[in-house]
Structure 1
Amino acid sequence: MNAESKTLFPKITEKGLEDLRKRIGVKIEKTVEPWCYEATRDNIRHYAHGIGDDNPLWCDPEYAKTTKYGDVIALPSFLFATSRIVSGYVGGMPGVHAMWSGADWTWHKPVMRNDEIRTEAWLKDLVEHETRFAGKSIQQIYHVNFYNQKDELLAEADSWCFRTDRDIAREQGTKYTEVKAREPKVYTDEELVDFYRHYAKEEIRGSETRYWDDVSDGEDLQTIVKGPMTVTGFIAYAQGWGGLYIRANKLNWQQIHAHPGLGIKNAQGIPDCPERVHWEEEFALKVGAPGAYDYGPERCSWLTHQLTNWMGDDGFLRKASCQVRRHNPAGDLLFIKSHVVKKYEENGQYLVEIAQEATNQDGELSAFGTGIVELPKR
């Protein structure tokens, strides 16, 4: 066994799983402090900018005054910033890698400016899988409800992480064998100019109402892009979303003191947060990833960004589902393509189902999902 083959991290055990199963269905009484308690103008804008979304309905109060809301509202994915649990903060099996992998969202009401958000959450299920990435893994599913200060249910979500053995992923995982063998991507100026044309042409429907009557089955939505992926971009998302374990000085010590398995030593021998896989290349490789990579909730938010661009100010995103299929390491480009599956009426609502697929520059599937958008009828 060479130096890199030694056991570096805690493993999934039957005892750990047994302890976790006892938590299923039990409401979590004390949750970790969220990044955002309130949907303030700045909190909303910081989250929107963190995913590269400049829709004036979330970012420009003067514009928003002209809409039916009369003020800025939160983009649907902003609620990721109001719950660490929906974003991937998992309990049990300390030190075992947790990889956020998807969510199913349902929204009931818009989040208005200055709404105060409270949540309730519980472990919903544990599902065992055999994966190419890390052998045996555990899908750990949580349910979270989101309420405003009036105790109105704003939204609900199931989200899940896969718990994996870091050592197996690094040594035996096959999913990223080819990725690890690639030379780092270096773009020419011409390639970047061609890619940036997508940003120049990106359309935000805004005040031009999209009516349900005018939508056709099978029609394509405008492709939107994200990237080129950089560590700077990953950090920009963390600024708006808050991260899970990013703490400084005394607060970092308190976190690691309370949860000893959380702090994984860095090159200086200092216990540091596992979240640094998103900005520290060497550590990302140690856990079996192809390099520093994007956040899962970030990618989910990119998919809903496409839907809100398309539906306009008078639409309402009812449901969205996202499943993550691979990492987006620094250097990747992402193309999100979608089409209308069907439109239908249900309980007096005029709805459009949309299928989404995100692929990288090599045509590899990065994520996929569906959205259900409610539109006004003429």
Structure 2
Amino acid sequence: MTQTEQAQDFDHAIKDEDIERAKLLLGIDAPASIDEFHRELSVDAIRNFARGYGDDNPLYVDPGYAAGTRWSGPIAPPMIHCALSRKMLGDPIPDDIRKATKGLFSGVHIFVSGQQTEWFQPVRPGDELYGFGGLESIEDKHSEFAGRSIIRIRRVVRVNQRAEVVAVERTILIGTERKKSRERGKYMDIEPATYTAEQIAEIDAIYAAEGPRGAQPRYYEDVEVGEALPKMVKGPLTLTDVISFHAGGYGFGPYGIGAARVGYKNRQRVPKFYINNAAGIPDVAQRLHWENEWSQSIGNPMAYDYGIMRECWLTHYVTDWIGDDGWLLRQHDEMRKFNYIGDTQFITGEVVAKRIENGNGVIDLEFRATSQRGEVTAPATATVALPSREFGPVVLPQPEEELRRKAVAMMERHNELARGRNR
């Protein structure tokens, strides 16, 4: 059996009954049952995560430097919650709903299309993160590329071991029917990117001009509406970049991926996640991010990045600009186009508004990643707080009281169950 034939066997249609069953989960908060790659944050984990997506900000990677900032030590980049989490103990969703929703959208290709996140607290060495949440919305639609698709918004509240709300993320998940993706083949005529020495030199010149704002405060009063932000570049995307992102901590924990016997045991646990490659060797379906042949068999011309990788790039763009004393309040981004191996993303943006919000000088940004083909692959907006000569340092935002109480209750239940396990 060829790899393409194997992929056809893996096809699953989106079923009306699955959509109706999924609606039973709307509004139900449950503890997140996933251990990520990192379970307790360390200085090394912060550094490796940041470097994994190409961020060398000394606030993250140099503890000696970070000790002299307002944070008195290293803090993690905003997107750390995609690589740091411990399983939260708690009361599961009602048993009848759990049974009714078992096996939803089995075999349907799921990818991250974007996210909207709010940040409330820094994450520091020694911290643990837990999560709770669930399905916030579901939409059934037809897309030009993949035929029928399902758009789900999943909300997760990130809480540290002190029951403080660190972040609230809303992830946009797109489920598509694999077979229709292949039959349409909308992007199959896209050719791999190639570069001349001169083009690489132009990219390198942007890298050479980049750098974090660092210790020099960017004051609210000095920012003007319409002001352009510096250009950042990410790419050309290579397999090395994908490996580095995984090495930073993303993606191995929840999927259970591992080598040799660990991989074998995971294959017994989730056999549908493993699809034979051209040599007849079972390998993870996730390899569409690094194996062109598998990606082509399900309708793409070549392997492509993770949506979360680009989200890390977009937050990197913002944190470089705001400096050590600023704070990223919230960001919304969407993955509109694929970012294939070999592609280069140029990130540009501008200031669109400024105001005073909750005692902070606040700036609204619009920015985007644009490929070497001139296509906007990831539009984004962000709101940041900057230090002010009039109002003083940035004051960290506070979540709503109801959410704070919920976080405390969830952590109390977690700790109660954890003590029971340890007796």
- Which SS does the other structure have where 1:10 is aligned? coil
| Bigger shift: residues 259-268 or 356-365 | 259-268
Tell me what 1:193 maps to. 201
Q: Residues 252 and 294 from structure 1, CA distance in 2 versus in 1: closer, same or farther, beyond 3 angstroms?
A: same
**Structure 1 residue runs of 4+, over 6 Å off?**
none
- Which SS does the other structure have where 1:331 is aligned? coil
- 1:257 aligns to 2:268 (yes or no): yes
CA–CA distance in structure 1, aligned partners of residues 86 and 23 of structure 2? 20
Question: CA contact under 8 A between 1:289 and 1:327: conserved in structure 2?
Answer: no
- 1:370 aligns to 2:381 (yes or no): yes
CA–CA distance in structure 2, aligned partners of residues 224 and 30 of structure 1? 34
Identity level (%):
38
Q: What is the correspondence of 1:227-238 to structure 2 with a 5 Å cutoff?
A: 227-238=235-246
- Which SS does the other structure have where 1:133 is aligned? coil
CA–CA distance in structure 2, aligned partners of residues 290 and 323 of structure 1? 21
Tell me what 2:396 maps to. none
Tell me what 1:23 maps to. 25
Question: CA contact under 8 A between 1:12 and 1:93: conserved in structure 2?
Answer: yes
| TM value normalised by structure 2 | 0.83
CA–CA distance in structure 1, aligned partners of residues 103 and 166 of structure 2? 25
Shift of 1:358: 0.8
Q: What is the correspondence of 1:124-163 to structure 2 with a 5 Å cutoff?
A: 124-163=136-175
Tell me what 1:51 maps to. 53
Pick one of 328, 333, 344 that aligns with 2:355. Answer: 344
Question: CA contact under 8 A between 1:290 and 1:327: conserved in structure 2?
Answer: no
CA–CA distance in structure 2, aligned partners of residues 16 and 173 of structure 1? 26
CA–CA distance in structure 1, aligned partners of residues 310 and 280 of structure 2? 32
Code of the aligned partner of 1:309: D
CA–CA distance in structure 2, aligned partners of residues 339 and 32 of structure 1? 37
Code of the aligned partner of 2:54: G
Q: Which runs of 5+ in 2 are unaligned?
A: 88-101, 390-423
Q: What is the correspondence of 1:211-360 to structure 2 with a 5 Å cutoff?
A: 211-243=219-251, 244-245=254-255, 246-360=257-371
Deviations 1:134-173 (A, max 9, x none): 0110012211111111110011110021111111111114
Tell me what 1:203 maps to. 211
Code of the aligned partner of 1:191: Q
CA–CA distance in structure 1, aligned partners of residues 227 and 72 of structure 2? 32
Code of the aligned partner of 1:72: P
- Which SS does the other structure have where 1:22 is aligned? helix
Question: CA contact under 8 A between 2:32 and 2:130: conserved in structure 1?
Answer: no
Q: Which runs of 5+ in 1 are unaligned?
A: none
| TM value normalised by structure 1 | 0.92
The structure that is helix-richer by fraction is 2
Q: In the comparison of the two structures, how many residue pairs are matched? A: 369
Tell me what 1:78 maps to. 80
